[in-house]
Amino acid sequence: MISQCMIVKNEEHNIKRALSWAKDIVHEQIVVDTGSTDRTVEIAKQMGATVYEIPWEDDFSKAKNYCLEKATGKWILFFDADEYIQSLEEVQKLKQLLPRIPRHTMSVAFPLVNINEKGEAQSRITQIRVFRNQPEIRYRGLIHESLIYNNSTAITATYFDNLLTILHTGYSKEEHQRKDKVSRNTDLLHKLIEEKPDDYNVKTYFALNLIAQKKYDDAVVLCKSIFKKENFKHVEPGLRVTLEIGLMQYYLRKKPEHCEEALLMLYNQGMSWNASHPDYDLLLGNWYLSKKDTIRTKSFFERAYSKLQSYNGYLTLVAASSFEDITNLLISLCKATQDLNGVVKYSIASLKTNKNQIQCLMELLYFLKDEIKTDNDVMKIMNILSSIYDFSTHKDRIMVFKCAEAANAPLLVGVLKRRLTQEDYKLIS
């Protein structure tokens, strides 16, 4: 049995979706409302959820733990109202997964993608949203709460990177303005700093909150203390990377005095403890791109691309949301530096991300046609194309055929032509 739990306030825009996506796999849906003044409670009750209304006491953990006390399932799905799994197939995969989890595993974690108001991915992180319903597992922290075991240690998790993806709309500009999260968080963080003046995790959250308020000068001053070696070592890895990347993004946008010096400091600091993470190279590459430094731009973007291929960490990742942009920029940089092997390599990578890029396909075939001298060469290229396109479909056969014609690759055109059907010819004409 699975219990879906959530705490809400003024979520009438999200609550229907929040209660719909999991309805077929859970046996109960528990909603704890902390003071809504809109139709959130009414909609939740209409949809069959059990709703509890409690006063808000400036403590996220207290509200979440109250919700856990009401749950009766063996597993908890604790998603925020602005988080959901979009695919019905993925929802069923989640249901099928839980009975197979080893007994010693207390929780499971999945990729969470932050999307903007257009539905575009902004960043990716791995988060725990599913865990066993045990009285020893509870939330701790007024804000940015985390799950702990026996009131002392963080719970262990098994990570599943490819099973499903959680989508989160809460940090889109529209949602941010509607909920006024920054103002709410500021009050709670002030309270936390008073309680824990030497806690550098709290100070890091406060610095990130200052960045969200665009109080960059104040954030930079606070970071001088946070980044001291004796302090920074106490900051959780997830917060470290979020702060370093957040500051690098600020310097790229605003370009204040000594911008490059600050970017290099953050880059080198990140490399000292987090060298496999692609975002540092991506952002420094963007800086050199703005300076029209082709060689350095290409070098850092190639590093970002290479790291992204093998990255299996759980920390916040911006590069994953711009993979197609990275490969397309690398194609242009390889052309500019006469790196033809690079053009082919990154064109294939870009098409595997989005195979409908006709211009990219034509350029790939244009560069490959000089390699076609024998039937064996044609088959090698067909093997490459078959890894991208489904030649059992009209659309893919016709697209590749027409691009090969445009690229003036006659041997390849001949092979592709033999694959065309009468229906294909009708569609072409």
Residues 157 and 11 placed together within one structural domain of the fold: yes
d(CA 14, CA 21): 11
User: Which pLDDT value is given to residue 391?
Assistant: 93
d(CA 303, CA 289): 14
Residues 224 and 209 placed together within one structural domain of the fold: yes
Question: pLDDT band at residue 174, thresholds of 50, 70 and 90?
Answer: low
pLDDT at residue 341 tops 70: yes
pLDDT at residue 121 tops 90: no
Residues 207 and 106 placed together within one structural domain of the fold: no
Residues 90 and 183 placed together within one structural domain of the fold: no
In a domain, 395, yes or no: yes
pLDDT, average across residues 18-40: 96
In a domain, 51, yes or no: yes
Q: Which of 133, 151, 170 is the last residue of a domain?
A: 170
Q: Which of 170, 185, 205 is the last residue of a domain?
A: 170
pLDDT at residue 276 tops 90: yes
One-character DSSP codes across 232-271: HTTS-HHHHHHHHHHHHHHHHHH--TTHHHHHHHHHHHHH
More confident residue, 419 or 174: 419
Residues 279 and 152 placed together within one structural domain of the fold: no
CATH number for the domain spanning 121: value is: 3.90.550.10
d(CA 169, CA 10): 15
Residues 162 and 285 placed together within one structural domain of the fold: no
pLDDT, average across residues 297-306: 97
Q: What is the mean pLDDT of the chain?
A: 92
Q: Which of 137, 170, 203 is the last residue of a domain?
A: 170
420 token code pair: 């065309």
67 token code pair: 């919700």
Residues 123 and 186 placed together within one structural domain of the fold: no
Q: Which residue has the tokens 């790196």?
A: 339
pLDDT, average across residues 123-149: 93
Asked whether 121 and 69 are in contact (CB, 8 A), the reply is no
Residues 129 and 21 placed together within one structural domain of the fold: yes
Residues 51 and 7 placed together within one structural domain of the fold: yes
In a domain, 215, yes or no: yes
Q: Which domain holds residue 44?
A: 2-170
Please count the structural domains in the chain: 3
In a domain, 331, yes or no: no
Quote the distance between the C-alpha of residue 96 and its chain's center: 24
pLDDT at residue 177 tops 60: no
Residues 122 and 188 placed together within one structural domain of the fold: no
One-character DSSP codes across 345-369: HHHHHHHHH-TT-HHHHHHHHHHHG
User: Which pLDDT value is given to residue 304?
Assistant: 96
d(CA 232, CA 200): 7
In a domain, 381, yes or no: yes
Asked whether 166 and 129 are in contact (CB, 8 A), the reply is yes
User: Which pLDDT value is given to residue 191?
Assistant: 86
H-helix segments, 126-258: 173-179, 181-195, 200-212, 216-226, 229-232, 237-254
pLDDT, average across residues 51-66: 96
User: Which pLDDT value is given to residue 175?
Assistant: 59
Question: Among 102-116, 130-144, 159-173, which is the least confidently predicted range?
Answer: 159-173
More confident residue, 320 or 55: 55
Question: Among 140-144, 175-179, 331-335, which is the least confidently predicted range?
Answer: 175-179
pLDDT, average across residues 293-313: 94
pLDDT, average across residues 56-84: 96
Selection from 45-59, 316-330, 405-419 with the highest mean pLDDT: 45-59
Residues 124 and 196 placed together within one structural domain of the fold: no
In a domain, 134, yes or no: yes
Residues 271 and 410 placed together within one structural domain of the fold: no
- Residues 6+ positions from 342 with CB-CB distance below 8 Å: 330, 331, 333, 334
Question: pLDDT band at residue 47, thresholds of 50, 70 and 90?
Answer: very high
pLDDT at residue 29 tops 70: yes
User: Which pLDDT value is given to residue 255?
Assistant: 83
In a domain, 131, yes or no: yes
CATH number for the domain spanning 267: value is: 1.25.40
In a domain, 283, yes or no: yes
Q: How does pLDDT run across 213-255, given as a tens digit for each residue?
A: 889 999 999 999 999 999 999 999 999 999 999 999 999 998 8
Quote the distance between the C-alpha of residue 320 and its chain's center: 7
